[in-house]
Structure 1
Amino acid sequence: MPSPLELAANAFTAAAILLAGRNNVHTWWTGIVGCVLFGLLFAQSRLYADVLLQAFFVATGILGWWRWLHGSNGAPLPITHAGWRSLAWMAPAGIAATAAYGALLHFYTDAYAPFIDSAVLVFSVIAQLLMMQRRIENWPVWLLVNTIAVPLYYSRGLMLTAVLYAGFWINAIVSWWWWRRLAQQQALAPA
């Protein structure tokens, strides 16, 4: 049976992810609340990389909220594609950072599944940075994160969270399609 903390964390985070997929700015405040709750839950489960990730999400949630509302010129930030140069460094940097942080957790903590937990952390950071900039490519990175996270959370007995992340996997596919469509509509709209 999920704890009240896990239920609340899942409810706020589910709302945030669905709102993000619909390109709704309210994703940010609901996400901040969900991340605080998940930080507490993951600390109880000894998933320390995930605790750090939730702190990162709170900080970037504040910045992302502001950027989506104000962009760089005071206008709302449009949905765009990330450049190939940006994408080209992300995968190798993500793998290297996963290995480095996973090694730290492995050798210096009692972390459960330190390398898998680190992969969730690192690639979530990459996806979040892309989302903050309203880049369409955040969604395939979230697909990767959710693919890794579902069995990790299941293995820790966080069944509701594992199911939620499986739902996020489906949401990421739908959102990827939706954001591509929104970007096409923006490109065709008169300036």
Structure 2
Amino acid sequence: MPSALELAANLLVAGSIWLAARNSALTWWATIAGCALFGVLCYQHQLYADVVLQLFFIAAAVWGLFSWQSAQALPIRQLPGRYLLPYLTAALVIAALYGALLHFWTDAYAPFWDSLVLTLSVLAQLLLIRRYLQNWWCWLLVNSIAIPLYYHRGLELTAAFYALYWLNAAYGLWQWRHWLSSPAGAAGASVDKSVG
């Protein structure tokens, strides 16, 4: 039976992801609340890399809030291909190093997979803040790893929500591609600030 903490964390994060796909600045407020709750939940389940990830998400949400609401908010755009491979390589190397640290120095569960969720999520979040379309591809990969990780740790509800997050990331990818290819271009897909 899922706890009230797990349910509340997942509902807030699900809302934040849906709001991000809708290009709403309100996503960052929901992210802050949901990630604070997730940090506590992950600590209780010995997913220490995920605790660090939640702290990063909270800090990144503050940055995202100011970035998306500024007068110079960036348009939706593509990350130049020459940057993507180095970013992915860095995420994999850091995941391997952090996973080894957790493996040898803590009682962490699945430290390498947990670390991969951490580093790829950091990359995806940074791409989201900068409004690069490729953030959604990263989220699809993160969610594909996280679903079995959480399920095998006994967080079945969280695993189910991550399956929904996977679908939402696919929707976000479709929606942002649509805006990017529209006649007005990505500039026409300005951030919805009216609710933020």
TM (norm. structure 1) is 0.95
Displacement after TM superposition at 1:189 (Å):
6.8
Q: Which residue of 1 aligns with 2:52?
A: 52
Point out where structure 1 has 5 or more consecutive residues left out of the alignment: none
Distance, in Å, in 1 between the alignment partners of 2:110 and 2:53 is: 15
Distance, in Å, in 2 between the alignment partners of 1:148 and 1:104 is: 20
Q: Which residue of 2 aligns with 1:37?
A: 37
Q: Which residue of 2 aligns with 1:133?
A: 130
Distance change >3 Å, CA 108–CA 23, structure 1 → 2? same
**Residue deviations 1:82-126, cap 9 Å, x none?**
111221201211111111000000000000000000000000000
Displacement after TM superposition at 1:76 (Å):
2.7
Displacement after TM superposition at 1:188 (Å):
7.8
The answer to whether 1:64 aligns with 2:64 is: yes
- Give the conservation status (yes or no) of the 8 Å contact 2:77–2:186: no
Aligned length: 187
Q: Which residue of 1 aligns with 2:185?
A: 187
**Residue deviations 1:11-41, cap 9 Å, x none?**
1001001101111111000011000000000
The answer to whether 1:175 aligns with 2:172 is: yes
The answer to whether 1:110 aligns with 2:107 is: yes
Aligned with residue 75 of structure 1, among 66, 72, 76: 72
Percent of aligned positions that are identical = 52
29-38 or 90-99: bigger deviation: 90-99
Distance, in Å, in 2 between the alignment partners of 1:3 and 1:148 is: 23
Distance, in Å, in 2 between the alignment partners of 1:64 and 1:87 is: 20
Q: 3-state DSSP class of the match of 1:80?
A: coil
Off by >3 Å, runs of 4+ in structure 1: none
Distance, in Å, in 2 between the alignment partners of 1:158 and 1:109 is: 20
Distance, in Å, in 2 between the alignment partners of 1:187 and 1:20 is: 18
Point out where structure 2 has 5 or more consecutive residues left out of the alignment: 189-196
